[in-house]
Amino acid sequence: MMTIAVLAAVALLVGALIGAVGIGGVLLIPALIAFGPLGTHAAAATALATFFFTGLLGTWLFQRQGSIDWRKTAVVCAAAVAFSALGAVAAKQFSAVALMRVISVLIIFSGSYIFLPKPAVARPPRSAAHERWVLVLIGAAAGFGSGLSGAGGPLFSVPLMLLAGFPPLMAVGTSQVLQIFSAAAGTLANLPYGIIDLKIGLIATGFELIGVLIGVRVAHAASTDQLKKGAGVLCLVVGSVMLFPTL
């Protein structure tokens, strides 16, 4: 049975991870299932609703620090919104187990890739048009992955932006804005089914927001290398947590 203390501790940790590296919210779902009275669908819907508010606070805090490139963020978010419905349609073509395995392996691969040694040769600078298309592809993949898995877009956008060579702080800042759109769209779709637990959601949201305040401070105090490694470790953890129940 999930006590207030357990829920508070989990939500605080999740909020801190969201603020610091942009991902980690998906960890709230297995916690609500393992320690609480919620089933899988209710846990996912309740968690997703709380992320709308963490996205709002995270966006405001990153904007205050000047860490959001709105031009690039707008491209990612627009592409993500456009492709999220396509992902939801595609999800119906896969069994739940097969789908979870594929997504988990991709997330683990992204986390592992961050730790691989990179060539010492510097990448040639991208043209504005080239960069815009890279951002469109990242947004499309994040939106498709979000619709396919039911997870938030940041789970895909952060590792993809890091793999594409964008600064970690920019990737995390973009994820805060993308989180608003992902959570709003998913929550509106869930409302007619009445599966969102308002009591648990409100308690979790309060502690998540405290965690976001802490996490954003960590993100702006940490080095680029520390942020990359933090995101990489979290991808490995989240991918493993998602993969283990399917084995």
Q: What is the pLDDT of residues 101-136, one digit of tens each?
A: 777 787 788 788 778 765 554 566 778 889 999 999
Query: What's the domain count of the chain?
Result: 1
Q: Which two tokens stand for residue 241?
A: 């947590």
Question: What residues contact residue 232 under an 8 Å CB cut-off, 6+ apart?
Answer: 111, 112, 114, 115, 159
Q: Which of 37, 2, 164, 144 is nearest to 80 (CA)?
A: 144
Q: Read off the pTM.
A: 0.86
Closest CA to 162 of 203, 104, 154: 154
pLDDT (tens place) for every residue of the chain, 247 residues total: 568 888 999 999 999 989 998 887 878 887 887 777 788 778 888 888 899 999 999 999 999 999 999 999 999 999 998 888 787 777 667 676 776 777 778 778 878 877 876 555 456 677 888 999 999 999 999 888 777 766 778 888 988 898 888 999 999 999 999 999 888 888 888 888 888 899 999 999 999 999 999 999 999 998 888 888 888 888 888 788 778 877 7
Q: Among the residues of 36-95, which ranges form H helices?
A: 40-64, 70-91
> 210: domain range?
4-246
* Residue (of 147, 141, 143, 114) closest to 237 by Cα position: 114
pLDDT score, position 123: 60
Give the span between the Cα atoms of 138 and 158, in whole angstroms.
Answer: 9
